[in-house]
Amino acid sequence: MKAKYRILEVVNTPSLVGKTITINAWVRTKRESKNVAFVALNDGTVFDNLQVVIDVQKFDEELLKNISTGAGVGVTGKLVESQGKGQALEMVADSIVLYGPADPTTYPLQKKGHSLEFLREIAHLRFRTNTFGAVFRIRHHMAFAIHQFFDNKSFKYLHAPIITGSDAEGAGEMFHVTNFDLDHIPRTEDGKINFSEDFFGKETNLTVSGQLEGELAALALSEIYTFGPTFRAENSNTSRHLAEFWMIEPEMAFYDITDNMDLAEEFLKYLVNYALQNCRKDLQFLNDMYDKELINRLERVVQTPFVRLTYSQAMDVLLQSGKKFEFPVKWGVDLQSEHERFLVEEHFKNSVILTDYPREIKAFYMKQNDDGKTVKAMDVLFPQIGEIIGGSQREEDYDKLLARINEMGIPHKDMWWYLETRKFGSVPHSGFGLGFERLLLFVTGMKNIRDVIPFPRTPQNAEF
RNA sequence: UCUCCCUUAGCUCAGUUGGUUAGAGCAUCUGACUGUUAAUCAGAGGGUCCAAGGUUCAAGUCCUUGAGGGAGAGCCA
């Protein structure tokens, strides 16, 4: 018979009451009096702690002294209904194994609250807090839900390359990938770096987007998605940017911009609803501790249709609002954060999808509208965090795409394969990118993106 | 990269107009307590006031520079 259980199972298996089992976990707190001690154990499998009741007389004094906050222990005992309030079940300890003590005078985590900034500096230990246990359990469930959503729709999970030889997407500054001895970098006769001698025989970088490769696959498999790490070497110092983050990029053949919007909205609602259904305890904790409106906001997103309007219509709303903006509103300039926030948080009080942006402020691959001025772009704007999804219908017309590439001075040698898909069997298609950590910001109510990824990489910081 | 704010005990923070020996809560340690829930009660220990330089009889406090952190902006997801 199985004797070793996780707290998740203890919480969800009422029939275990009366049984003697073993729990391996870490000590959260200990409360002691002369004859009895109470130890709260947590193994991270679920938000709940398991209270262990210890008859002080039955155990070695030195052992009990080492059962302090942070210690790793295995406790065997009988599960009983709790005499005290605050928990339904508790365990009466028969034996205790101390795997590893945690010296209370140097262990940094205390019973009381710590600031998120301090916990960021001890990212190797912050998993052991209620907050980060909740955040990273939710992160897991969201990743799983993403695969489930697409699998339900028969989308194929595509692994786009992480090392890329093209700098064509222009999504941002890239990290170089090289095998050169940095003290002796080969040069050509005219003094430039000789990439032909490098590992790949050409200049290579870490990917800033898997979209272009995703399109190639979609134009054969019909519907695909990527979900992988993405790298931007921008010197961005904000609570919404990381140098290394995870991105989901679906790409669908035979989808126009409206199909694309429908999918994005369904996708986001599925994920938020999944969290509400499957991460309730963790969400409730985050709601109580950090953001009293969190669960209300999540429920509202699931229930309310997103507002859809064009960039031009949004311009009219902004102009007619009579509101003074730091950056003046004018057709043709990109929307600033303050404009997006006004639309989402003040005017519509709802999630918004904006479409048909001026072509000059959007990427080369977006499908050009007949008006000659706008492209079939779409951005999904969320309360609190702004742009959560950016996407578009792609330009499938070879001549128009080529003209745009020339216009923007993008080198053909990097793009020949992308252009060929428009030469052979080109069809209408669309896609978008969702920043995984931005989704998590929204779902968890955390305010800083560094607190929803285990080990954040930002300018001047790659610790751990 | 720009603007603003912060840096004092392990943690979170007070510290007045520049003025004697820099404080509190929590944590830690010691003791008390028959079932606790951020247990409670009593006591103890704990400081390079971020760094360097400067002004002054006197600097945690004022000035300059630097480092680290945060918020907002730009770039974007």
A247 within domain boundaries:
yes
For residue A399, pLDDT beyond 80: yes
Question: Is the same domain home to A334 and A372?
Answer: yes
The Å distance, CA of A289 to C1' of B23, is: 29
Strand B: which positions are within 7 A of a protein CB? 1-2, 10-13, 26-29, 32-39, 68-77
Express as a percent the part of chain A with pLDDT over 70: 98
For the residues A332-338, what does the mean pLDDT come to?
A: 91
Is 0.80 surpassed by the pTM of this model? yes
Domain harbouring A280, CATH code: 3.30.930.10
For the residues A91-106, what does the mean pLDDT come to?
A: 92
The Å distance, CA of A112 to C1' of B26, is: 7
Question: Is the same domain home to A21 and A103?
Answer: yes
The Å distance, CA of A244 to C1' of B9, is: 36
pLDDT tens-place string over residues A36-82 = 999 999 999 999 999 999 999 899 988 999 999 999 999 999 999 99
Domain harbouring A77, CATH code: 2.40.50.140
A181 within domain boundaries:
no
For the residues A121-140, what does the mean pLDDT come to?
A: 94
The answer to whether A356 and A369 are in contact (CB under 8 A) is yes
For residue A7, pLDDT beyond 70: yes
Question: Closest nt to A385 (CA→C1')?
Answer: B77
pLDDT tens-place string over residues A405-459 = 998 888 888 889 999 999 999 999 999 999 999 999 999 999 999 999 999 999 8
A119 within domain boundaries:
no
The Å distance, CA of A459 to C1' of B63, is: 31
Question: Is the same domain home to A162 and A30?
Answer: no
A378 within domain boundaries:
yes
Question: Is the same domain home to A75 and A166?
Answer: no
Question: Is the same domain home to A81 and A105?
Answer: yes
For residue A230, pLDDT beyond 70: yes
User: In this predicted structure, what is the pLDDT of residue A414?
Assistant: 80
How many domains is chain A built from? 2
A371 within domain boundaries:
yes
Question: Is the same domain home to A168 and A53?
Answer: no
A439 HSE (CA, 13 A, CB side):
29
In whole angstroms, what is the distance from residue A456 CA to residue A3 CA?
Answer: 38
Question: Is the same domain home to A134 and A88?
Answer: no
pLDDT band (50, 70, 90) for residue A169: low
Name the residue closest to B69, CA to C1'.
Answer: A117
Name the residue closest to B28, CA to C1'.
Answer: A105
A334 within domain boundaries:
yes
The Å distance, CA of A279 to C1' of B10, is: 33
Side chain identity at A273, as an amino acid letter?
N
Question: Is the same domain home to A88 and A214?
Answer: no
In whole angstroms, what is the distance from residue A430 CA to residue A214 CA?
Answer: 10
The Å distance, CA of A445 to C1' of B77, is: 17
pLDDT tens-place string over residues A383-392 = 888 899 999 9
Boundary-marking domain end, from A110, A137, A163: A110
Question: Is the same domain home to A215 and A364?
Answer: yes
Side chain identity at A155, as an amino acid letter?
F
Boundary-marking domain end, from A110, A143, A164: A110
For the residues A201-221, what does the mean pLDDT come to?
A: 94
For residue A200, CA distances in Å to A205, A210, A213, A259, A412 come to 11, 19, 18, 39, 19
| More confident call, A2 vs A328 | A328
What ipTM describes this predicted complex?
0.90
Q: What angle do CA A132, A134, A139 make, to 5 degrees?
A: 90
Question: Is the same domain home to A150 and A264?
Answer: yes
Name the residue closest to B46, CA to C1'.
Answer: A105
For residue A370, pLDDT beyond 60: yes
For the residues A90-111, what does the mean pLDDT come to?
A: 91
The Å distance, CA of A464 to C1' of B59, is: 38
Question: Is the same domain home to A315 and A391?
Answer: yes
Name the residue closest to B77, CA to C1'.
Answer: A435
A104 within domain boundaries:
yes
Question: Closest nt to A231 (CA→C1')?
Answer: B77
pLDDT band (50, 70, 90) for residue A170: low
In whole angstroms, what is the distance from residue A124 CA to residue A281 CA?
Answer: 24
A194 within domain boundaries:
no
Question: What range does the domain containing A273 cover?
Answer: 126-173+208-451
Token duo for residue A297: 């906001």
Question: Is the same domain home to A290 and A330?
Answer: yes
